[in-house]
C-alpha cells in the first residue's frame, strides 16, 4: 500500500510539472507585450517597465520558469494586477467558497446517485426504475446552466422561495448559507447524480448477477444484506473511479455555475483573470487548481485501492 501511494505520488509530481510548463507557457503565447495586453495601452512607459521587470519578463525563459516554479513551491503565487492583491490572498479568500460548494455538490452527487442507482437496479423493470432512468438521461443531457436558468426562474423569480444569487460560508451564517446553496448545488450535482445513477445502475446489475451474490444468497443472507453488503459495496468500486472526475468537475468546472449565481469563487476569479488578461493570476490559479485536481485524483486512487483489495494487494 505504501509503495502504491509512493508510486502515485511520483506520477502526480510529474503531472504537476507538466501542468506548470503549460501554465507558464500561457504568457509566452500572448501576442505582443503581455504588460500592455494586461494593463491596457494607456499606462505610462515607466509603469510598464516596472511591471515588466516585476514580472521578470526581461529574464531568459528558463530563468523565468524556474523563478516562477521556485516561487510557487515557496508558496508565493505572484501578484494579481487586476485585483491589486497577492494571488495567495486571493486564493485564500476564494478557495473556501469553491471547495465548500464543490465538495457539497460532489457528496450530493455521489450519495443521491448511488442511492438512485441502487434503487433502479433493485427495482429493475418497474415504474420506479423507468422514471428514474428517464430522469437520469434527461439530467445527463441537460446543460447545467440551463437547469440554473430554469430553477432560478421557478424558485427565485416566480415563487420567491430561494435567493437567486450569492454565497455565504456556512460558518458565517448557516441558515442563509443553506438557502443560497440549494440552487447552485442542485445545478452542479444534477449531471453527477444522473451519471452516478446510470453508472451505479449498470454496475449494480452487473454485480447482482455475479457469482458471489448468488453465493451470498445461497448462504441464506437476508436480501437487504445481500444488496447492501454485497451488491452495493462491490458496485461502488467502479463508482469510485468516477468520483475523481466528479470532484474535479465540481471544483474546477464550477466557473459557469459560479458566474450564473454570482458566487465569487475560484471559477469566477479565473474567468475574471481571463477577461482582464491577468496572466499571473491565471497562471498561478491554473497551476493551483491543477494541484488540487491531482490531489483529488490521488485521494480517490488511494480510496479505490483501499476499497478493492485486488488492487491494494497487487
Segment lying near another protein (by CB under 8 A), choices 48-56, 103-111, 196-204, 271-279: 271-279
28, 54, 89, 262: which one binds another protein (CB under 8 A):
262
Instruction: State the Cα–Cα distance between residues 19 and 53, nearest whole angstrom.
Output: 24
Sequence-separated (6 or more) residues with CB below 8 Å from residue 247: 102, 103, 106, 296, 300
Instruction: State the Cα–Cα distance between residues 199 and 114, nearest whole angstrom.
Output: 9
Nearer to another protein, 24 or 254 (CB): 254
Tell me 80's DSSP state: E
Site membership for another protein, residue 165 (CB under 8 A): yes
11, 86, 177, 245: which one binds another protein (CB under 8 A):
11
- Please state the length of the chain: 314
To another protein, the closest distance from the beta carbon of 184 in angstroms equals 11
Which residue intervals of the chain are DSSP H helices? 2-29, 34-39, 45-54, 61-74, 87-122, 127-141, 144-151, 174-208, 211-218, 223-225, 233-252, 255-260, 266-275, 279-307, 309-312
x-or-dash string of contact with another protein, 70-109, rule CB under 8 A: ------------xxxx--------x---------------
Site membership for another protein, residue 222 (CB under 8 A): yes
Site membership for another protein, residue 268 (CB under 8 A): yes
Segment lying near another protein (by CB under 8 A), choices 7-15, 22-30, 69-77, 188-196: 7-15
CA distances from 51 to 43, 56, 80 (A): 11, 8, 11
To another protein, the closest distance from the beta carbon of 84 in angstroms equals 6
Instruction: State the Cα–Cα distance between residues 288 and 68, nearest whole angstrom.
Output: 13
Site membership for another protein, residue 46 (CB under 8 A): no
To another protein, the closest distance from the beta carbon of 186 in angstroms equals 15
Instruction: State the Cα–Cα distance between residues 223 and 59, nearest whole angstrom.
Output: 69
Q: What are the phi and psi torsion angles at 172 (to 5°)?
A: -90, -50
Segment lying near another protein (by CB under 8 A), choices 115-123, 187-195, 268-276, 295-303: 268-276
Site membership for another protein, residue 114 (CB under 8 A): no
Site membership for another protein, residue 223 (CB under 8 A): yes
Q: Is 189 exposed, middle or buried (0-12, 13-18, 19+ CB in 10 A)?
A: buried
Which cell is 310 given? 485486488
Q: Residues in contact with another protein, total (CB under 8 A)?
A: 52
1, 215, 228, 274: which one binds another protein (CB under 8 A):
215
Instruction: State the Cα–Cα distance between residues 270 and 253, nearest whole angstrom.
Output: 11
Site membership for another protein, residue 230 (CB under 8 A): yes
Which cell is 116 given? 438512485
Site membership for another protein, residue 259 (CB under 8 A): yes
Site membership for another protein, residue 123 (CB under 8 A): no
75, 160, 172, 175: which one binds another protein (CB under 8 A):
160
Instruction: State the Cα–Cα distance between residues 259 and 268, nearest whole angstrom.
Output: 6
149, 150, 178, 274: which one binds another protein (CB under 8 A):
149
The contact set with another protein (CB under 8 A) reads 7, 10-11, 14, 42, 82-85, 94, 149, 152, 156-157, 160, 163-166, 210-212, 214-223, 229-230, 233-234, 237, 259-262, 264, 268-269, 271-272, 275, 307-310, 313
Amino acid at each position: 500500500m505504501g509503495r502504491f501511494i509512493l508510486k502515485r505520488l511520483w506520477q502526480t509530481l510529474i503531472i504537476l510539472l507538466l501542468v506548470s510548463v503549460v501554465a507558464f507557457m500561457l504568457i509566452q503565447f500572448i501576442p505582443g507585450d503581455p504588460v500592455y495586453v494586461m494593463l491596457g495601452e494607456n499606462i505610462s512607459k515607466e509603469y510598464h517597465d516596472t511591471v515588466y521587470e516585476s514580472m521578470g519578463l526581461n529574464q531568459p525563459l528558463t530563468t523565468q520558469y524556474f523563478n516562477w516554479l521556485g516561487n510557487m513551491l515557496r508558496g508565493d503565487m505572484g501578484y494579481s494586477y487586476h485585483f491589486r492583491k497577492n494571488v495567495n490572498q486571493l486564493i485564500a479568500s476564494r478557495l473556501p467558497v469553491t471547495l465548500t460548494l464543490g465538495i457539497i455538490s460532489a457528496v450530493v452527487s455521489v450519495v443521491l446517485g448511488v442511492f438512485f442507482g441502487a434503487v433502479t437496479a433493485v427495482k429493475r423493470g418497474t415504474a420506479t426504475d423507468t422514471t428514474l432512468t428517464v430522469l437520469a438521461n434527461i439530467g445527463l443531457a441537460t446543460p447545467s446552466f440551463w437547469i440554473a436558468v430554469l430553477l432560478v426562474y421557478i424558485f427565485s423569480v416566480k415563487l420567491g422561495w430561494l435567493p437567486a444569487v450569492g454565497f455565504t460560508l456556512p460558518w458565517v451564517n448557516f441558515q442563509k448559507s443553506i438557502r443560497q446553496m440549494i440552487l447552485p448545488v442542485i445545478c452542479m450535482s444534477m449531471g453527477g447524480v444522473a451519471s452516478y445513477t446510470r453508472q451505479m445502475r449498470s454496475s449494480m446489475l452487473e454485480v447482482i448477477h455475479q457469482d458471489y451474490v448468488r453465493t451470498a444468497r445461497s448462504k441464506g443472507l437476508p436480501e437487504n444484506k445481500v444488496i447492501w453488503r454485497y451488491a452495493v459495496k462491490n458496485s461502488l468500486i467502479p463508482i469510485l473511479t468516477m468520483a475523481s472526475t466528479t470532484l474535479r468537475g465540481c471544483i474546477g468546472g464550477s466557473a459557469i455555475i459560479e458566474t450564473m449565481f454570482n458566487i465569487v469563487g475560484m471559477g469566477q476569479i479565473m474567468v475574471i483573470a481571463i477577461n482582464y488578461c491577468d496572466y499571473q493570476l491565471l497562471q498561478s490559479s491554473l497551476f493551483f487548481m491543477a494541484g488540487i485536481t491531482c490531489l483529488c485524483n490521488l485521494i480517490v486512487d488511494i480510496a479505490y485501492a483501499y476499497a478493492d483489495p485486488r488492487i491494494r494487494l497487487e
